[in-house]
Amino acid sequence: HGTSKVNAKGHLEIGGIDTVELAKKFGTPLYVYDVALIRERAKGFKLTFENLKVPAQVAYASKAFSTIAMVQLAEEEGLSLDVVSGGELYTALAADFPRERIHFHGNNKSREELEMALKHEIGCIVVDNFYELELLNSICEEMKMSTKILLRVTPGIEAHTHDYILTGQADSKFGFDLQNGQAEDALKKALTFEKIDVLGLHCHIGSQIFETTGFILAAKKLFEKLHEWKEAFSYESKVLNLGGGFGIRYTAEDEPLPAAQYVAEIIEEVKRLAEHYSMAMPEIWIEPGRSLVGDAGTTLYKIGSRKEVPDVRQYVAVDGGMSDNIRPALYQAKYEAVLANRALEKADETVSIAGKCCESGDMLIWDLPLPKSDSDDLLAVFCTGAYGYAMANNYNRLPRPAVVFVENGEAKLVVRRETYEDLIRMDISLKQKINN
C-alpha cells in the first residue's frame, strides 16, 4: 500500500527508497514514514468535507506521533492540531504551528498547562470536568484573558474495540456525562463565565473503530441535548467535535472502510439531524490520529538470534521490541511483516517474532509465515506509524530508534537515534559533590 513496493533487487522500497539502504544508512530499528501516504490521507479527509460543503476542521491527534517534523507536515496539509499535554503543546509551538488551530485536550490539565495555553492564545481548550472549568475561569480572570472552549461529553456509547481504548462509555474517566445532567450543569456554569466562550461540544467514543454506528448514535444523543438546550435556554452550538478513532487495517483480519468514507457517512447523518431539529448545521471538527499516520509507518529491524522449541515454535528475535512498539504487549495488537531484503521469496516456515527485552511478554508477532531467515536479514513490520514511536520507552535502557521521512526518493532524518549518552543525561551521580 502507499508507495511501498518491491524493487528489481527484490527489496522492499518505500517512498522510492530501498529499505535495505535506509537500514544501512540510519541503522535499526528504524521507523520509516511514507510521507506521500500521510498527505493522501489528510487530503482525503479534507476533500470529504469540501464535497459535502460542510465547514470543518480536521485536527491531527498528535498523540499518535508527535514530533516537530510531523507537526510541520500537518501544517503543510492544512490540518488543525489536537494536543493533550504541555509537552505536545510545546512541540507544536516549537514547530511554529498556527496557534489558532491548536486544540488542547486532557482530563487533568495542570494550572501551568492551562496558563501556557492561554499565554500562547491557542484556538480552543477542550474542558473535561468541573475542576478544570473553575480553574480555567480563575486563570482567565487572573491573566485578564479570554478563551474559547468545547465541553467534552461522554454520550454513553460502547464502541467495539479493546477495553483500554474505549472512551465514550458512561463509566469513563473522561468528560461530562451527557445523560445524568452533568453536561447541562457544566454548560450552564460555563455560560456564566464572561471570559469563556463555549463554542460547542466534543465527544470521542474510542479508537480503532470499524463501524459508523457508534459515531452516528453519539451524534444523535448530542443533537437531542442540543435541541433541548436551545429550547430551554437558547444555547446554540457553533461547533461539534466528533473526535477520532477511525480504524485502520493492521492485518487481513481488519476490514475498515477508507476513513474518509466513514466520515462522509457520519456527516450525512449529522446533516439530517440538524435538519430534523431545525438547527443550523454546526461546524464539524474531527480528530483522526491513527488513520492519518498509522499505515504510513513501517519499522525496520535486524534479525538476530533464533531459538527452537521443538515441535512447538521457532522464536526469531529482532533488535527492538516492546521498547519501540508496546502495542502487542499492551493490547494484543497484531501486525504483518515481511523480510525486506528478500521480499519476493515465498514463506516456507512459521516463526514468532520476539523482541530483545528481558520479559516473556515482549513478542511482536506470533505465528508469522516467512521465508527461512538468517541473522542480519531485515524485517519490516507494517502499520507502526501510530502509537509506536509515541509510546516508545527506554525499558532495559534501549535507546529509542531514529525516525526517517521518505518521499519521492528522498530520505530525511526527523528524529535522531538516542545514544547511550542520551540515556544517562538526566542521571545524577551519588559521587557528585554539589547536588541541588
Residue among 138, 146, 251, 124 at smallest CA distance from 195 = 146
**Which lies closer to ligand LLP via its Cβ, residue 243 or residue 297?**
243
In the residue annotation, 203 being an active-site residue is answered as no
CB of 259 to ligand LLP, least distance (A): 8
- Output the smallest distance, CB 375 to ligand LLP, in A: 30
Task: Using the CB atoms, write b or e for 99-127: b if 16+ within 10 Å.
Answer: eebbbbbbbebeeebbbbbbeeebbbbbb
Is 244 annotated to bind a ligand? Reply is no
327 labeled part of a ligand binding site: yes
Q: Which three cell numbers stand for residue 194?
A: 464572561
Cα 82 to Cα 88: distance, rounded to the nearest angstrom: 9
Query: Is 287 labelled a binding residue?
Result: yes
Our CA angle for 36, 19, 319, nearest 5°, is 120
Torsion, Cα 132 151 215 105, to 10 degrees, reads -40
Closer Cβ to ligand LLP, 282 or 288, answer by number: 288
Pick the closest to residue 396 from 339, 323, 324 (CA basis): 323
Any binding-site annotation on 395?
A: no
Q: Other CB atoms closer than 10 Å to residue 158's CB: what's the count?
A: 14
Question: Whose Cβ is closer to ligand LLP: residue 244's or residue 303's?
Answer: 244
Would you say 64 or 414 has its CB closer to ligand LLP?
64
What's the rounded Cα separation, in Å, for the pair 393 and 390? 9
Q: How far apart are CA 319 and CA 209, in angstroms?
A: 31
Binding site for ligand LLP (CB under 6 A): 61, 64, 82, 105, 165, 167, 204, 207-208, 243-246, 287-291, 327, 331, 386-387
Catalytic residue (choose from 124, 140, 358, 383): 358
State the nearest-atom distance from the C-beta of 59 to ligand LLP, in Å: 8
Q: Cell numbers at residue 169, please?
A: 462509555
Quick one: 223 or 387, whose CB is closer to ligand LLP? 387
Least separation in angstroms between CB 239 and ligand LLP: 14
- Minimal distance, residue 344 CB to ligand LLP, in Å: 31
Catalytic annotation, residues: 358
Known binding positions for pyridoxal 5'-phosphate: 245, 287-290, 387
Instruction: Name the binding residues.
Output: 245, 287-290, 327, 331, 359, 387
User: From the annotation, which residues make up the binding site for substrate?
Assistant: 290, 327, 331, 359, 387
